[in-house]
């Protein structure tokens, strides 16, 4: 599924893994031993979340913009 939501990936000392989250969907997170694995897993979770929202008639959140400092 193609979407326009940003995924943020960071290292978690507590989990000893990379964690991927999506700000528009609180509670959505995925883990991986590498950034790539966390990203793959988060895309699966995000696609399932979007599918669930659509099936239940829940409006999808608007994708947020990321502001970059100059």
Q: Residue-wise over 59-68: b if at least 16 C-beta within 10 A, else e? A: eeeeeeeeee
CA distances for 33 relative to 23, 46, 47, 51, angstroms: 21, 19, 21, 26
- 52 three-state secondary structure: helix
Q: Residue 2 above 90 pLDDT?
A: no
The model's pTM = 0.82
- Residue showing tokens 């694995």: 37
* Confidence (pLDDT) at 3: 76
Beta bridge partners of 11: 18
Q: Residue 18 above 80 pLDDT?
A: yes
């Amino acid at each position: 599924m193609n979407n326009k939501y940003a995924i943020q990936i960071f290292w978690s000392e507590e989990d000893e893994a990379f964690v991927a989250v999506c700000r528009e969907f609180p509670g959505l997170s995925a883990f991986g031993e590498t950034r790539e694995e966390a990203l793959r897993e988060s895309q699966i979770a995000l696609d399932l979340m979007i599918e669930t929202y659509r099936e239940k008639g829940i409006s999808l959140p608007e994708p947020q913009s990321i502001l970059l400092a100059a």
